[in-house]
Amino acid sequence: MATSVDLSRVTFIVMREMRGPLIALLTVYSASILGMVFIPGIEVDGEVQYMSIFHAFYFMTYTATTTGFGEIPIKFSDAQRFWAIICLYVSVITWLYAIGSIIRLFQNPFLLRALSEWQFSRGVQRIDTPFVILCGFGDTGSVLMRGLSDYGYPAVIIDSDEERIKALQLRNYKVATPSFCGDASVPKHLIEAGLRLSNCKAVIAITNSEEANLKISALARLLNPEVGIITMSKVEVFEETLATLGGEVHIVDPFKIFAKVLAAAMHNPGFYAFNKWLVREKGATLERYIAPPVGTWIVCGYGRMGHEINRVLSKYGIKTAVIDPHDSKEEEHIDRYIVGRTTSKTLEQAGIENAVGILSGTDDDGHNLGILLNARYFNNDLFTIVRQNKHENEVAFRATNVDMVMQPTLVAARKILFLLIAPLLKPFFYYLLESKPGRQGEMEKVINCLRKKVGKQVPHLVTIHFTREKSRAVVQLLDEDKKVTLGELIRDPRARDIPLDLVVFVIKSSDQEIVLPPESYEIQENDEILFCGTGLACRLFNATINSEYKLYYVQHGVYKPRSYLTNWLLTRKNKRLLDN
């Protein structure tokens, strides 16, 4: 529907701008042809010759191209030649007028916008796989789109910044990324982006405006009650409103997310390294853990980040000293609150020499780096956490060699990516981080297994749905009331005695979620499975669940025949093997 509407707008603008030139050309050519038809020509055998309509049209056509085939079908009379001269000059002037109108037409901003919307809608309609609508292509959107591309997940992008949309055309994404420069909070643009299409799975609102994110989320819910909504919000008032929209709504607050990660790292040091490794962060490794120390911490900047971090530290009974230019209305969890900018004097008042850690969490990157350098002058053994607000400053922050860098755009982008490609990670993390005996040992077991199977290769998180479309061979066996176990599927289809280099995290069945399932688990139709492994292992697993021959081999250890001759030969071979 949106495509046809945009096409009608293009047609309307073209006809409106070209109406005058077209009427002028039709008038000039009609008069010229009629004149050539009615003006008498030369006499032949005593009879005056007249030009036919066809020959008059042919003459005016080839003269318009300045080709010049001469006087046809017979020589012209002087009257015809005089009329031809007039027609040539008038038609040239008319063509100049028409060409000028065409040039102005292609410079018309309304036509260019209508063409852009039409091409955008057509690009969206051509996507035949599940996709998401990405509203906002700032730092967060750019990082998220790179992750989606790596996992082969198409996205439709809307952003109000024309320069960001132009920059998008230079990216080498592996998937389709139709893009449009416009306001994503306009319902028409969301519909053009495919909001009502059946393969639209989610709307992601990550613009720089909290109000725009809230409006986009509300519109998406109204226009398509079934679509998932993921929105970034850092204001509690908006978060409360978003939570009442109903349906599948995920609110991403990078400060709360980082605070939870910090809390997990405090009582389970392996989690932070594991989380960084899963998101493929540069330099991330499973070999080195980061354990924030227990003692007095200094929090520089008591905005959203400072507030959330202080809440986490207080939860574990850790004393904090806060430095902020503004008075705090909530000081119940703060041991010492110092009003002022972070300087050498205020750091000394906060007890920098005896502190074990410092958080530099203001909204100014230069100020954060300055705080860090100043603090290290007094205490070089501090555990350091610093907030990086702009992605372009990454080089400077890496040079500081801090223990933990909190970049809101990266935190939000990775959280959204996990929600899209690996939603089962949430129950997996909850399970590992529960305060129950043995959970830390289970995480160590998972990490050791991943070290062995994946090592230094790039980790691939994969979610598989056991449906007819995505695991044809498995469902076919289930229809025949045959069993398929998890242990059979994670065998190498080239040599079944060798396990694939992957670790199964979670299986979601109709009535339960099984974390770290046993190999004896029997697969059921519509199950979901989340695992992590190498790229090769993921491809081999996918080949097994979609090939009846590979699945037969990993189950029985012999190859299923594909023809009568092969059937006869393999039957005899298998019989000899069984006899021996």
Structure-token pair, residue 313: 């530290």
Beta bridge partners of 502: 533
> In the chain, which residues have pLDDT < 50?
1, 4-5
- Give start-end residues of each CATH 3.40.50.720 domain in the chain: 127-252, 255-412
CA–CA distance, 129 with 336 (Å, rounded to integer): 55
Q: For 336-354, how does the pLDDT look when each residue is reduced to its tens digit (9 = 90+)?
A: 888 888 888 999 888 998 8
- Can you give the pLDDT at residue 528? 93
DSSP helix/strand/coil, 461: strand
What contacts 375, CB < 8 A, 6 or more positions away?
298, 347, 352, 358, 360, 382, 384
What contacts 215, CB < 8 A, 6 or more positions away?
185
Cβ atoms 291, 265 nearer than 8 A:
yes
- Can you give the pLDDT at residue 290? 80
What contacts 38, CB < 8 A, 6 or more positions away?
50
The CATH code of domain 431-575 reads 3.30.70.1450
Which of the listed CATH numbers 3.40.50.1820, 3.30.1050.10, 3.40.190.10, 3.40.50.720 matches domain 255-412? 3.40.50.720
- Can you give the pLDDT at residue 157? 93
In DSSP notation, 472-511 reads HHHHHHHHTT---BHHHHTEETTEEEEEPSEEEEEEE-SS
Cα-based distances in Å from 78 to 67, 71, 238? 21, 12, 84
CA–CA distance, 428 with 522 (Å, rounded to integer): 20
Cα-based distances in Å from 22 to 16, 46, 97, 575? 10, 41, 10, 84
CA–CA distance, 200 with 224 (Å, rounded to integer): 10
- Can you give the pLDDT at residue 262? 85
Judging by DSSP bridges, how do beta strands 47-48 and 43-44 pair with one another?
antiparallel
Residue with tokens 């853990």: 289
- Can you give the pLDDT at residue 1? 46
Cβ atoms 533, 460 nearer than 8 A:
yes
Structure-token pair, residue 343: 């300087």
CA–CA distance, 293 with 356 (Å, rounded to integer): 7
Residue 178: closest CA among 198, 207, 200: 200
In DSSP notation, 151-173 reads TT--EEEEES-HHHHHHHTT---
Long-range contacts of 311-320 (CB under 8 A, 24+ apart): 311/259, 312/259, 312/260, 312/262, 312/263, 312/266, 315/263, 316/263, 316/266, 316/267, 318/294, 319/295, 320/296
CATH architecture of 127-252: 3-Layer(aba) Sandwich (3.40)
Q: For 157-171, how does the pLDDT look when each residue is reduced to its tens digit (9 = 90+)?
A: 999 888 888 888 778
Residue with tokens 């998008």: 168
Q: Which fold has domain 2-109?
A: Helix Hairpins (1.10.287)
CA–CA distance, 282 with 142 (Å, rounded to integer): 17
- Give start-end residues of each CATH 1.10.287 domain in the chain: 2-109
In DSSP notation, 222-234 reads HH-TTSEEEEE--
| Residue 422 DSSP class | -
What contacts 452, CB < 8 A, 6 or more positions away?
none
